[in-house]
Amino acid sequence: ASLNLSLNNLFILQESIFNGLSAVTTLDLNFARIRKIEMGAFKGFETLKDLDLSKNSVSEIFPKTFIGLPKLSTLKLGVHMSYLHSNAFQGLEAVRSLTVSNCHLIELPEAVFKGMTGLENLIFEQSDLVTIKPKAFDGLVNLQHLRFDDTKITNMELGAFSSLSNIRSTGTILDPNYGLIQYNFSRMSIQRIDSGAFAGLGKPGNVIYLDLDGNKIFKIVTDNFVGLEGMRTLHLTENVIEELQPNSFRTLKNLIHLSLGFNKIQDLQPEVFNGLVSLRYLNLRQNKIKSLSGNRFRLLRNLATLIVSNNSLAEIPVDAFGNLPINTLDVDANSIRAVHQNTFNDLPKLINLNISHNDLIDIGWLKALGLAHSIRNLDLSYNHLKEIDNKNLGLFLRRIDINGNNIPCENLPKILMNLKASSIAYRKYPLSGLGSFDNVSCVPMQFSLPKNEASVKEDFSGLEALLNETDEIVEAIVGDIADSSTDPNEVAEKHFGPLEKRVDELRMKANKINIRYRSRHAYDVDVYQALLIILCVVFCLSQFMGVYKKCVGNQTNIRFRREQSEIELFAGTNPTS
C-alpha cells in the first residue's frame, strides 16, 4: 500500500505518529513543510520500503531518527538541512539508495553513515558540503557509486574516503562503458585536498580515472594522491593552482595522462614529476611558466606528448628536455625569441613541432639538427621570420606552415619555389601546407615606380634571355612533333623538364615585378604591357603542356586499340595461331 501526505503542513513528526500503518510500503512526505523529526517517529512501519522526505525544512537529523524501518530500501532527504549527526542513519541496514538534495551541510562528520551496511548508491544533488571529515564514509562496506550532481565540496581532509574499498565511481558517471573506475569531482568548488585524502578509495590496483577539473584548488601537496596507485588519467585543468610541491605525484607510477592546463603555475620545482615513470601525455597549457631550464622533465622517461603553449617562455634553453622520447612538442603562443642550437638534439623521436605565435627571427637552430632529423610536421607561423632557408629543413619533413611572418612579398615567390624544388629534389613526398603566392601572407614593401631608366632595365634584366630560351625549347618541341618517327612520350620526357623550369622562373619574375611596380592608382603603361606579355606567355605554355600531355595519352590509347584490333583480326583469320 502507498500513503501520500505530500503538500501538507505537518511541521513536526512526533514519536509513533504512524502507529497502525504497518501495511504501508511507500510513504510520500515530499513538500510537507516538515521542520522536525522526533526519534521514533517512524515506529510501526515494519514493511516500509520507500520513504521520500525531500523538499522539506528539516535542519538536522539526530541519532536514531529512523529507528523502526527494518525493510526500508530507498530514502530521500532534502531542503535546508545543514547538519547530519554521527549515527544519524542507525538502524537502516537494508537501505540500498540514499539521496540527499538541496542541502547546505557544514560537514560530513565521522561515521555519519554508520550502520548502513547495505548502502550501494549515495547521491548528493544540488548541495554544498563544506568539509568531508576523516572516516566520514566508515561503515559503507558495500557502497559502489558515490554521486555528486551539481554539488560543491570545499575541503577534503585526510582519510575522507577511507573504507570505500568497493567503490566503482564517484561524481556523475562519465561513461558506463569507459572501462575504468571513475572518480569525478569536477566543478565542485574544491579548494583544499589534504595529503592522503583519497587513501582507502577503491581497491589497490584498480584502473582509475580521476577528474578534478574546474575547481578552486590552489596547491598540490606532497603525496596528495596516496591510495590511488592504479590511476591512469588525472585531470586538474581550470583550477587556480600556483604551486606543485616536490613529489606531488610520486605514488602514481602507473599514470599515463596528466592535464594541468589553465592554472597559474609559475615555476616547475625540482623533483615535481618524481615517480611518473609511465607518463606519456603532459599538458601545461595556459599557465604562467617562465622557464624550462633545469631539465625538469628528465624523470619522465616515457613522455611522448608535451604541451607548454600559452605560457610566458622567452627562450628554450639547451637543458629543457634532456634525452626524452617526445614525438609531439607544442610551445606555441609564448614569447620565445631564442632557441638554443642544441635544444632539440636530444629529442631523436620528435615528429611534430609547433612553435607558432612566438617572436622568432631565425631558424638557425634547425640547421644544428642536420638534415637527418625526424621532424615531419613543423609550424612556424606567426613569428617574425624574414627568410626560410630550405637547407635547414630535414629530409623527413612533410608539412610546414610559414604563414603570418615578416617575409617580404618580393622574396616570397623565391622562397616558395626553393621549398618546393627542394621537396622534389630530395624528399620522397612533396611538402604540403606551403600554399601559393596568393594565400601565404607576406609583408608588402614600399610601393614606388622606378626613378630612372637604369632601374627599369635592372628590374627587367634577364627577362629577354629567359623568353629566348623558352622560345628555343618550344621550337625544338614543334620540330620533334613534326618528325613522325619521334615518340611523343620521348618529346615530353626530353623537353618538359626544362620548359617547366622556365615557366616557373617567368612566373616568379612576373610576381616580383608586379609587387615592385604596383601603385594605389595605376600602373606605368610600359610595365603593365610587359607584365601582360609575360603572364600570357606563362598561361599559354601551361595550357600547351596540359593539352600536349592529354594528346599523348589519347595517342597512346589509339595506338593500343589499333594494335589490339590487328591482333584480334589476325587471330580470327588464323584460328590455329
Residue 137 three-state SS: coil
Q: How confident is the model at residue 344 (pLDDT cuts 50, 70, 90)?
A: confident
More confident residue, 353 or 110: 353
What percent of the chain has pLDDT above 90? 30
**404's grid cell:** 603570418
- Amino acid 44: pLDDT: 80
Provide, for the chain, the percentages of residues in helix, strand and coil under a 3-state DSSP scheme, each rounded to the nearest 5.
Answer: 20, 20, 60
- Give the DSSP letter of residue 432: B
Averaged pLDDT for residues 204-210:
77
Yes or no: say if 5 and 28 are a contact pair by the CB < 8 Å rule.
yes
One-letter amino acid of 66: F
Residue 406 three-state SS: coil
Residue 322 three-state SS: coil
Q: In this predicted model, what pLDDT tens digit does every residue of 431-471 receive, in sequence order?
A: 555 544 445 666 654 444 444 455 555 556 666 677 777 77
Q: Is the dihedral of CA 386, 391, 392, 395 positive or negative?
A: positive
Q: In this predicted model, what pLDDT tens digit does every residue of 211-237 receive, in sequence order?
A: 999 999 999 988 888 888 889 999 999
- Amino acid 83: pLDDT: 85
- Amino acid 544: pLDDT: 62
Q: How confident is the model at residue 531 (pLDDT cuts 50, 70, 90)?
A: low
In which region does residue 68 sit, left (phi positive, over 0), alpha (psi from -120 to 50) or beta (all else)?
A: left
Question: Has residue 559 got a pLDDT over 60?
Answer: no
Name the helix (H) or strand (E) containing 423.
helix 412-426
Q: Which of 465-469, 502-506, 548-552 has the lowest mean pLDDT?
A: 548-552
Question: Has residue 576 got a pLDDT over 50?
Answer: no
**159's grid cell:** 582519510
- Amino acid 451: pLDDT: 45
**407's grid cell:** 617575409
List, as own/partner pairs, every contact residues 19-25 make where C-beta atoms lie below 8 angstroms and the sequence separation is at least 24, other chains included: 19/43, 19/44, 20/44, 21/45, 22/46, 22/47, 23/47, 24/48, 25/1, 25/49, 25/50
Residue 525 three-state SS: helix
| Cα gap 131→512, rounded to integer Å | 70
∠ CA(219), CA(171), CA(117), 5° rounding?
115
**168's grid cell:** 566503482
Number of neighbouring beta carbons within 10 Å of residue 370: 11
- HEC assignment per residue over 263-279: CCCCCCCCCCCCCCCCC
**374's grid cell:** 625526424
| Cα gap 145→166, rounded to integer Å | 9
Q: Is the dihedral of CA 492, 494, 496, 499 positive or negative?
A: negative
Inter-CA distances, 501 with 71, 420, 426, 541, Å: 90, 12, 17, 11
Class of domain 9-152: alpha beta
Question: Has residue 337 got a pLDDT over 70?
Answer: yes
∠ CA(51), CA(54), CA(60), 5° rounding?
95
More confident residue, 166 or 421: 166
Burial class for 462, CB neighbours closer than 10 Å (0-12, 13-18, 19+):
exposed
Q: Distance from first CA to last CA of the chain, Å, rounded?
A: 99
| Cα gap 31→55, rounded to integer Å | 5
Residue 410 three-state SS: coil
- Amino acid 420: pLDDT: 65
Residue (of 158, 146, 109, 104) closest to 126 by Cα position: 104
